Amino acid sequence: MTDLHIDIDRLIERLAALAEIGAIAGTEGCARLALTDEDRAGRDLVVSWMHDLELNVTIDGIGNVVGVMAGSTEGAPVMTGSHIDTVRTGGRYDGNLGVLAGLEVIETLRIANVTPDRPLAVAFFTDEEGARFPPDMLGSLVYVGGMGVEEAHAITGIDGATVGSELDRIGYLGSAPLPGAAPHAFVELHVEQGPVLETEGLTIGAVTGVQGISWTEVTVTGQSNHAGTTPMELRRDPGVVAFKVGSFVHELAHELGAPQVATVGRIEMHPNLVNVVPASATFTIDLRHTDNDMLLKAERRTKDFLTAAAASENCTIELRSLARFDPVIFDETVVCAVENIATAQGHAVRRMPSGAGHDAQMLARVCPTGMVFVPSVGGVSHNPAEYTSPEDLEAGANVLLHVMLDLAAT
């Protein structure tokens, strides 16, 4: 069985077919924000492939889709998977690779007439990106019981729609029970989305865990007024508070040093006109660190600065937590399996933490979990230019195949 290997052409064909849905013209990337019409079309295509592979497909109340291949014994499956929603300016590999490589593993086993000892499951989880409906990893969070389904349905997105109504509208409000059954183990293949593997000339990352994530939405309210007539000392300008905070978190991340990162990724001003001092500014702060104490420190420093900046502009602030997840450490047996199998397959491999959030970090709450990373050219992701070479995709999918078989034999 060790000579079993996946068909890279078939995997790339599926990646290309899925990338046509929500394709961003003139690029290789796609826009399939969670629970939009494009997400529905992508889901329909992947579900049709699951049926082609005769998987037993279930959909739960948060729209997670799980396809199961029977094993020679019953019991909890070894699960793989990821997400097929994207950010609005996404690449074709982020998430999609993990799901389609899972289908490729199943197809490889079917063609070779291999029945694994345990069932194998391929899942795609709803709204991993959290770009439309925060928090990120929403579907897998609900799957593991970290949030109730009613609370999740009530979440309002950046366009005012709610998760529950959009799930219903696109036909993915399923009835499989939540929380979902814990798998025997979970392993997710994903592109690194950072520069480490490429820079070090390595093919496989054995992921040791995921850094902590803190997302906050800040609304600053001041006094809208005439840009020409209002003297500077009489202004209450929320835009100034937003710019100062954006600059502060950037400097803070430099001061605290790697792996601290900080991003202001979304900002909206009202009324957003050239000659009007804004009435309000709403923006997001994304802070991440592998050490929870350091993350708490960055959160405290940011809040203190924000409070002082708002006071100095005589503005009021409102904070809303969009996501807060502690750092996660993956299971040593799964990390070892990834490392050993990648090495046995002749790949240069290193252990590394993940900078991005992943569904695996939620599954780690209920079963032994790990991840396989493959290089991202130029470390570029959340960008239509995201790219991973066919050779690296093939290497990652073959590691996934054999890690799953290994875990299914235990």
Helix (H), strand (E), coil (C) string for the chain: CCCCCCCHHHHHHHHHHHHCCCECCCCCCECCCCCCHHHHHHHHHHHHHHHHCCCEEEEECCCCEEEEECCCCCCCCEEEEECCCCCCCECCCCCHHHHHHHHHHHHHHHHCCCCCCCCEEEEECCCCCCCCCCCCCHHHHHHCCCCCHHHHHCCECCCCCEHHHHHHHCCCCCCECCCCCCCCEEEEEEECCCCHHHHHCCCEEEEEEECEEEEEEEEEECCCEECCCCCHHHCCCHHHHHHHHHHHHHHHHHHHCCCCEEECCCEEEECCCCCEECCEEEEEEEEEECCHHHHHHHHHHHHHHHHHHHHHCCCEEEEEEEEEECCEECCHHHHHHHHHHHHHCCCCEEEEEECCCCHHHHHCCCCCEEEEEECCHHHCCCCCCCCCCHHHHHHHHHHHHHHHHHHHCC
**Cis upstream peptide for 231 (omega within 30°):** no
Using the minimum distance from each CB to ligand GLV, give the nearer residue, 168 or 217.
Answer: 217
Question: Which residue in the set 129, 188, 331, 359 belongs to the binding site for ligand GLV (CB under 6 A)?
Answer: 129
Q: How far is the CB of 295 from ligand GLV (least distance, A)?
A: 14
Using the minimum distance from each CB to Mn ion, give the nearer residue, 95 or 327.
Answer: 95
42's contact among ligand GLV, Mn ion, none, with CB below 5 to 8 A by partner kind, is none
Question: Which residue in the set 38, 60, 94, 107 belongs to the binding site for Mn ion (CB under 5 A)?
Answer: 94
136's contact among ligand GLV, Mn ion, none, with CB below 5 to 8 A by partner kind, is ligand GLV
**Non-local CB neighbours of 373 within 8 Å, separated by 6+ positions:** 190, 191, 192, 197, 204, 205, 206, 207, 352, 354, 396
* CA nearest neighbour of 218 among 237, 236, 191, 241: 241
Stretch that binds Mn ion, among 11-19, 88-96, 294-302, 343-351 (CB under 5 A): 88-96
* CA nearest neighbour of 238 among 154, 175, 314, 293: 314
Question: Which residue in the set 136, 299, 331, 394 belongs to the binding site for ligand GLV (CB under 6 A)?
Answer: 136
Using the minimum distance from each CB to ligand GLV, give the nearer residue, 128 or 331.
Answer: 128
**Which x/- pattern over 44-83 shows residues binding Mn ion (rule: CB under 5 A)?**
----------------------------------------
Using the minimum distance from each CB to ligand GLV, give the nearer residue, 128 or 198.
Answer: 128
Q: How far is the CB of 253 from ligand GLV (least distance, A)?
A: 16
* Residue number with the smallest Cβ distance to ligand GLV: 357
357's contact among Mn ion, ligand GLV, none, with CB below 5 to 8 A by partner kind, is ligand GLV
Using the minimum distance from each CB to ligand GLV, give the nearer residue, 235 or 288.
Answer: 288
Stretch that binds Mn ion, among 32-40, 89-97, 112-120, 195-203 (CB under 5 A): 89-97
| Number of residues this chain uses to bind ligand GLV (CB under 6 A) | 5
Stretch that binds ligand GLV, among 72-80, 108-116, 128-136, 333-341 (CB under 6 A): 128-136
* Residue number with the smallest Cβ distance to Mn ion: 95
Stretch that binds Mn ion, among 73-81, 93-101, 111-119, 305-313 (CB under 5 A): 93-101
Does residue 327 belong to the site contacting ligand GLV (CB under 6 A)?
no
**Non-local CB neighbours of 51 within 8 Å, separated by 6+ positions:** 57
Residues 330-359 contacting ligand GLV, CB under 6 A: 356-357
Q: How far is the CB of 273 from Mn ion (least distance, A)?
A: 33
Tokens of 370: 């790990």
Q: How far is the CB of 202 from ligand GLV (least distance, A)?
A: 21
Question: Which residue in the set 42, 95, 194, 209 belongs to the binding site for Mn ion (CB under 5 A)?
Answer: 95
Chain residues binding ligand GLV by CB under 6 A are 128-129, 136, 356-357
Chain residues binding Mn ion by CB under 5 A are 94-95
